[in-house]
Amino acid sequence: MTTTLPIDRMIDTERGTISREIFVSPEFHREELEKLFTRAWLFVGHESQIPNPGDFFVSRMAEESVILCRDTMGTVHVFLNSCRHRGMKVCRYESGNTSLFVCPYHSWSYTTDGKLQGVPLYRVLYEGQLDRSEWSLIEVPKLHLYKGTVWASWDAEAPDFMTYLGDAVDHLDQVLDCRDGRPGGSEVIGIHKWILPANWKFAAENFLGDTYHNPSHRSVDMIGIGPSARAGQTGRRDNEYNKGQHVWASFPAGHGVHSVWMPEEFDYQPSYAQYPVVDEYFRHCFYERKKRLGDKARIMPFTGNLFPNTSYHGRQPRALCVWHPHGATQTEAWRFFLVDADAPAEVKDVLRRFYMRYSGPAGMTEQDDMENWLYATASSTGTIARRYPFNYQQSMGAYKHNDPIPGDVSTQITEQNARNYYQVYARYLKGESWASLLGTGDAVRAAAE
Amino acid sequence: MSRLDRLALKQEIEDFLYMEADLLDQRMFREWLDLLAEDLIYFMPIRRNVKFGQHAEKENTKQGEGISWFDEDKWTLGKRVEQILTGVHYAEEPLSRVTHMVSNVRLLEVSPSVEDPRDVVVGCRFLVYQNRVEYESNTFIGRRIDTLRRNGESWLIARRELILEQNVLLAKNLSILF
Ligand code: FES
Ligand SMILES: [Fe+2]
């Protein structure tokens, strides 16, 4: 479990320096796959993608393909997408409905609950040797369904998902709940998958609360691409959070968010100019949500990252994005776009059009992020470059605990979320206990004092 | 005579497509926008791996629903051009070097008639090469179906469907115009 990498020297969050090695070196990449992605809770998919028995969706956990499947009895599973015989990828369709996964290689077949069922010529070739019950598809030991989303961990000892999520739940809820505050009720309306030649942590860290990079989006802010841009409004989204207090909160398990804490009295800000039906929908939802959630309605989301690699945009746009490592300097991004499942068709249509012009490789906003992540990675690979760490000293110490919301909360733009994230990251790489990974261990408490 | 008319029309359409590609490669983005009809539909679906027999129904995302790479109108494309012209759209600043190749041109539908072509559906293949900054290069290859509308001596693009032959997008960005 111990590592030979000088992690504490490379990740020095006291001083606010982090070595470039963790963003470019194959050693760190390998350590992450071994020690981090085998333990942390990872986002796998959404129940709206597998509504019926036998439905499946092929997803990923880090570098490996997995099958998210609702078995014929209705139970949700996540399996490694690799045959137990010689490893052939059992399912190469992205989604569908089946009663059996038949391996293309030698035709072993698995039922939707993962059991090995068919073995050709079993009697003649395997009778008395092969115990089928021991050769099911490899299934994640930990699975959790939360408001439609599906999460899994490869570590049987992992704490339950809600403990892992901790107080970040209040922010994730703003992504997953209906706009009118009813719990859950979202659906995935489409998925982007693309490859970017950058280390995955650049993307995760960006969503974790790097509001400082706003100037890189100057072009979209100048021309206006938001939901009200057709009415001549500049900027890349509506000004929904007028008068709110921006907060950057980090949590002991490594999550970080950028949200807005609205004043006690706050009112709906007209949005979606030129789309009266949509504006009306959000106006209605706004008041319903306030009624339903009370004080909690004061939390409005921008972005966040749930440790390690699931990022979100909370409202405009609204999506979950998983940054899968794909080599030390390459990421495979999967973005799942969300809407309220029961929203009117016109609302969904306006939203999807906005999402497409905002997010992903064709998104006018995110293209500039991708450019930055690529060249930041590429220019950090050099021998000389790697001798010089990145600077993480922004707003050192400028945060309060549980004020005005749970977590370590800054009311100014900060790299505290990132410092916290890499502290937790370092603990994974050092193979520490779950108590420590959740930020509840003695060592962690002592360090905090 | 209809065969000659058809040949002449095909030549005219090809010339138009080559001229249009040239405008993009010459970075004459505003002039390119002028070739787009006000009610343009510009669509690039996401392609999916599906079981044999399900291609027609499930392989491509559909125009008008869900999420595609592009499913947009002239206003949005105008925004894309505007963004490039700000000079601070870093994904295209400095500008990429791009060549649009168009081939396999076929007239798929001509209406109301070859003698009086007002709407022409034309199929082709595209090969778009992008080279960016120093080492970045992408090749986008696929099929394209355009609906062209007669506009005086020239044509307007009323619909463009770009069937890119990729599943997971192998480029970090689709920051160029197709
Ligand atoms: S690899 Fe699957 S049956 Fe042999
Ligand atoms: Fe960004």
| B170 to A194: CB separation less than 8 angstroms, yes or no | yes
- Give residue-wise pLDDT tens across range A67-122: 999 999 999 999 999 999 999 999 999 999 999 999 999 999 999 999 999 999 99
Which of B88, B133, B170 is closest, CB to CB, to A219? B88
All residues of chain A having their beta carbon less than 8 Å from the beta carbon of residue B66 are 189-190, 352
Question: B95 is in which domain, residue-wise?
Answer: 2-164
Confidence (pLDDT) at A243: 87
Residues 6 or more apart from A7 whose CB is under 8 A from it? A426, A429, A430
Give the residue ranges of chain B where pLDDT is below 70.
Answer: 1
Ligand nearest the Cα of residue A130 is 1
Min Cα separation A33/chain B (Å) = 22
CATH code: domain of residue B134 = 3.10.450.50
Min Cα separation B112/chain A (Å) = 33
- Whether residue A309 contacts residue A200, with contact meaning beta carbons closer than 8 Å, is answered with yes
List pocket residues of ligand 1, CB cut-off 6 Å: A 83, 85-86, 88, 103, 105-108
- Give residue-wise pLDDT tens across range A365-421: 999 999 999 999 999 999 999 999 999 999 999 999 999 999 999 999 999 999 999
**Assigned domain for B81 exists:** yes
| B67 to A94: CB separation less than 8 angstroms, yes or no | no
Mean pLDDT in chain A?
Answer: 96
- Whether residue A256 contacts residue A408, with contact meaning beta carbons closer than 8 Å, is answered with no
Domains: count for chain B: 1
Min Cα separation A115/chain B (Å) = 22
- Whether residue B170 contacts residue B46, with contact meaning beta carbons closer than 8 Å, is answered with no
All residues of chain B having their beta carbon less than 8 Å from the beta carbon of residue A362 are 44, 69-70, 173-174
A386 vs A380: CA distance, rounded Å: 6
- Give residue-wise pLDDT tens across range A346-368: 999 999 999 999 999 999 999 99
| Beta-bridge partner residues of B36 | B157
B171 vs A371: CA distance, rounded Å: 11
**Assigned domain for B42 exists:** yes
Q: Is A402 exposed, middle or buried (0-12, 13-18, 19+ CB in 10 A)?
A: exposed
User: For residue A179, which amino acid is it?
Assistant: R
Distance A124 CA to ligand 1 centre (A): 17
Instruction: Tell me how many residue pairs between chain A and chain B have CB atoms under 8 A apart.
Output: 116
Structural domains in chain A plus CATH codes: 7-35+169-448 (3.90.380.10), 42-144 (2.102.10.10)
- Whether residue A251 contacts residue A407, with contact meaning beta carbons closer than 8 Å, is answered with yes
Q: Scanning every residue of chain B, which has its alpha carbon at the shortest distance from the alpha carbon of A218?
A: B88
Local structure of A137: helix, strand or coil: coil
Nearest to A67 by CA among A177, A168, A143: A143
Q: Closest ligand 1 atom to the C-alpha of A87?
A: 1
Nearest to A166 by CA among A351, A63, A307: A307
| Backbone phi, psi, residue A347, to 5° | -65, -45
| B50 to A94: CB separation less than 8 angstroms, yes or no | yes
Residue that is written with structure tokens 């993608």 in the block: A49
**Assigned domain for B112 exists:** yes
**Assigned domain for B171 exists:** no
Ligand nearest the Cα of residue A205 is 2
- Give residue-wise pLDDT tens across range A196-221: 999 999 999 999 999 999 999 999 99
**Assigned domain for B145 exists:** yes
**Assigned domain for B144 exists:** yes
Quickly list DSSP for B113-148: -SSSEEEEEEEEEEEEEEEETTTEEEEEEEEEEEEE
**Assigned domain for B170 exists:** no
Q: Is the pLDDT of residue A449 over 60?
A: no
Confidence of residue A171 (pLDDT cuts 50, 70, 90): very high
CA distances to B19, B32, B66, B152 from B9, rounded to whole Å, are 15, 21, 36, 14
* pTM of the predicted model as reported, rounded to 2 decimal places: 0.97
Q: Scanning every residue of chain A, which has its alpha carbon at the shortest distance from the alpha carbon of B62?
A: A190
The residue contributing the CA closest to ligand 1 atom 4 is A106
**Assigned domain for B117 exists:** yes
Confidence (pLDDT) at A5: 83
A229 vs A238: CA distance, rounded Å: 9
CA distances to A26, A264, B17 from B140, rounded to whole Å, are 29, 52, 17
Confidence (pLDDT) at A440: 79
Confidence (pLDDT) at B22: 98
The residue contributing the CA closest to ligand 1 atom 1 is A86
Q: Closest ligand 1 atom to the C-alpha of A104?
A: 2
Nearest to B119 by CA among B127, B108, B129: B108
Greatest alpha-carbon span in chain B: 54
The upper half-sphere exposure of residue A326, i.e. CA atoms within 13 Å in the direction of its Cβ, equals: 18
Q: Is the pLDDT of residue A195 over 80?
A: yes
- Give residue-wise pLDDT tens across range A248-284: 999 999 999 999 999 999 999 999 999 999 999 999 9
